[in-house]
Amino acid sequence: MKVVATLRSLTGLNTSVGSWALLKIYQSIMKNLSYLLSLLLLACAGQPEGSSMEVNWVASTAGQPWVVKTTKVSKDASDGTEEPGVIKVYPPKMQQEIDGFGGCFNELGWEALQVLPADRQDSLLNAVFDPMDGCRFTLCRMPLGANDYAVDWYSHNEVAGDFEMRNFSIARDRERLIPYIKKAQQINPAIEVWASPWSPPSWMKINNHYACNPDKVNDLKPEGKGQEMVSQFRMEEAYLTAYAHYFSKFVSAYAEEEIDISAVHVQNEPNSCQNFPSCVWHPDDLATFIGDYLGPKLAADHPQTKLWLGTIERPQIERVSAILEHPEAKKYIKGVGFQWAGKGAIPKVNTAYPDLRLMQTETECGNGSNDWAAAEHTFGLMKHYFNNGANAYLYWNIFLNETGKSQWGWKQNSMISINSADGKVVFNPEFYLMKHFSHFIGAGFVKVESSDASCLAFRKGSELIIVYYNDGDAVAQQFTIGDVKLDVRLAAQSFNTFRVDIGT
């Protein structure tokens, strides 16, 4: 395998990266050589003052996604006076580091893929995970037990009273989630996976049911209905100890499958009483579980697996602070994950707890519209999260069938829709929006300041990535980076990504 040996020599990749993965990289390089060469033209910082050269950038509109265009990058010979409408980017003014982009491995996503032959499945998985020409997702979520996009309800131990977890099993995950994750990691071995439960085993809840809210889609009795700020978990020593053991067993079981769980978020939406798997926790009780049970258990059994407070879906900062300032819980919490109305809490958490990592854990999923307006809304969310310190941004359902429906009836968006009758595939606008970020920006990039909140800029060494949404009519726009300027003509309602070499 001369190609593999050469790639190892040139890239310094060690033997932990398989030959198959290296050949994938080689094939992708050859397939995209002309595009990669065009990107090399962006290294223009050293050109003479007043000169210019043409370089490529990528633009997407509702009718024409992912179009490579040309613009001029030149040295700015002006006297430095402010020009109206110019967007300034300041690479030296660095903000938070970026950890990555991704989505969630859900059972119904895997089911949607199964209507396609193996080669078409591989093509779609490559479109999302390929580290050369795909979305390059590297940070992905998975459920610990059933979530709202599971085929049906399950946990990893439904034997009531099994406090020692003798009956713990991930056999169910071997049917869908584990093959899904392994397929993605074959494409990119660097994918990092973290997990969160939507519900503990039903027997650990006071209503003995996976749900919290009675509804026609479940068999929960009215008397089993929960309420916000009232814990549904049985706050007793035996149950708390067993639940911490449940988390540890999960991490161990996945390690045996050669899938490392990099982190766990303690509870999906701990304030929400849902008709699908859910569990409400009072902040004080959640802090007790983290500080006295789960934190010590993970630290002892799996010190490499980080513990996050997530996923927070309410704006009340006091609910978050009650946990982050708990004397025991705060010893173990490495970050905070936010989704939905949790976006209201991230600005204050970012200010009050600057040492914690922050993540957007589940982009708002719409109602199955899969249209341009949904992509515009998601860009607004990305702008809010990154401008308030987020280190990572995750999509929700990567693949769904044409209905977009969960088993509990909610129709939602996906990056890619697959028709279960005829196998027709549609790449929805949010696929391209995510790619405008994740294809160019990865772990190790740092967000930098700009003069316009809608201009999101990131750098890694001499490489600068600018993502900008033009929400109006077609317009001439200038971006300046120090003494370098980009003059472009932006299409109406277009996402645009520029890659610039700013030198040392």
Residue spans of the domains in the chain: they are 18-97+448-501, 100-443
* Predicted confidence (pLDDT) at residue 351 exceeds the cutoff of 50: yes
Is the bond leading into 351 cis (omega within 30 degrees of zero)?
A: no
pLDDT at 84: 80
* Predicted confidence (pLDDT) at residue 105 exceeds the cutoff of 50: yes
State the Cα–Cα distance between residues 149 and 398, nearest whole angstrom.
Answer: 11
* Predicted confidence (pLDDT) at residue 323 exceeds the cutoff of 50: yes
Q: 73 and 51 in contact (C-beta within 8 Å)? A: no
100-128 in b/e form (b: 16+ CB < 10 A) is bbbbbbbbbbbbbbeebeeeebeebbbbb
| Residue 256 pLDDT level (bands cut at 50, 70, 90) | very high
pLDDT at 122: 98
Q: Nearest-CA neighbor of 231 among 185, 275, 200, 254?
A: 200
pLDDT at 56: 82
Segment 183-196 shows an average pLDDT of 98
* Predicted confidence (pLDDT) at residue 111 exceeds the cutoff of 90: yes
CATH number of the domain located at residue range(s) 18-97+448-501 in this protein? 2.60.40.1180
Angle value at C-alpha 342, between 287 and 268, nearest 5 degrees: 55
Instruction: Count how many Cα atoms sit within 13 Å of the Cα of residue 327 in the half-sphere of its side chain.
Output: 0
136: left (phi over 0), alpha (psi -120 to 50) or beta: left
DSSP 3-state helix, strand, coil percentages of the chain (rounded to 5)? Answer: 30, 25, 45
| Residue 74 pLDDT level (bands cut at 50, 70, 90) | confident
State the Cα–Cα distance between residues 268 and 280, nearest whole angstrom.
Answer: 9
* Predicted confidence (pLDDT) at residue 50 exceeds the cutoff of 90: no
Architecture of the domain made up of 100-443 = Alpha-Beta Barrel (3.20)
Segment 64-71 shows an average pLDDT of 94
pLDDT at 18: 46
pLDDT at 73: 86
| Residue 52 pLDDT level (bands cut at 50, 70, 90) | low
| Residue 407 pLDDT level (bands cut at 50, 70, 90) | very high
State the Cα–Cα distance between residues 456 and 301, nearest whole angstrom.
Answer: 40
* Predicted confidence (pLDDT) at residue 14 exceeds the cutoff of 80: no
Q: DSSP labels for 390-430?
A: -SEEEEEESEEETT-B-TTS-B---SEEE-TTT--EEE-HH
pLDDT at 199: 98
Instruction: Please give the backbone phi and psi of residue 90, each rounded to the nearest 5 degrees, phi first.
Output: -120, 85
Percentage of the chain lying above the pLDDT 70 cut: 88
List pLDDT tens digits, range 364-389: 999 999 999 999 999 999 999 999 99
The tokens of 372 are what?
């341009």
Q: Which one-letter DSSP state was computed for residue 305?
A: S
pLDDT at 503: 83
pTM reported for the whole predicted model: 0.91
State the Cα–Cα distance between residues 497 and 70, nearest whole angstrom.
Answer: 12
Average pLDDT, the chain: 91
Q: Nearest-CA neighbor of 143 among 1, 28, 254?
A: 254
Segment 243-271 shows an average pLDDT of 99
| Residue 81 pLDDT level (bands cut at 50, 70, 90) | low
State the Cα–Cα distance between residues 242 and 205, nearest whole angstrom.
Answer: 13
pLDDT at 78: 59
| Residue 72 pLDDT level (bands cut at 50, 70, 90) | confident
pLDDT at 253: 99
Q: Nearest-CA neighbor of 306 among 39, 99, 463?
A: 99
| Residue 75 pLDDT level (bands cut at 50, 70, 90) | confident
Percentage of the chain lying above the pLDDT 90 cut: 85
The tokens of 50 are what?
């007043």
pLDDT at 158: 98
268-287 in b/e form (b: 16+ CB < 10 A) is bbbbbbbbbbbbbbbbebbb
pLDDT at 76: 67
List pLDDT tens digits, range 432-463: 999 999 999 999 999 999 999 999 999 999 99
* Predicted confidence (pLDDT) at residue 219 exceeds the cutoff of 80: yes
**E strands, 77-129, in order:** 87-97, 100-104
pLDDT at 83: 74
Alpha helices in 422-466 (DSSP H): 429-438
Higher pLDDT, 1 or 140: 140
* Predicted confidence (pLDDT) at residue 304 exceeds the cutoff of 50: yes
* Predicted confidence (pLDDT) at residue 23 exceeds the cutoff of 50: no
Q: 177 and 142 in contact (C-beta within 8 Å)? A: yes
Dihedral sign computed on CA atoms, order 92, 93, 97, 102: negative
Cross-strand pairs, 458: 447, 465
List, in order, residues 6 or more apart from 376 with CB less than 8 Å away.
469, 471, 493
Which of 79-93, 212-226, 274-288, 323-337 shows the lowest per-residue confidence on average (mean pLDDT)?
79-93
Dihedral sign computed on CA atoms, order 21, 26, 32, 38: positive
- Tell me if domain 18-97+448-501 and domain 100-443 are identical in fold: no
Amino acid, single-letter form, for residue 177: L
* Predicted confidence (pLDDT) at residue 165 exceeds the cutoff of 50: yes
* Predicted confidence (pLDDT) at residue 37 exceeds the cutoff of 50: no
Q: 429 and 435 in contact (C-beta within 8 Å)? A: no
The tokens of 142 are what?
């998975």
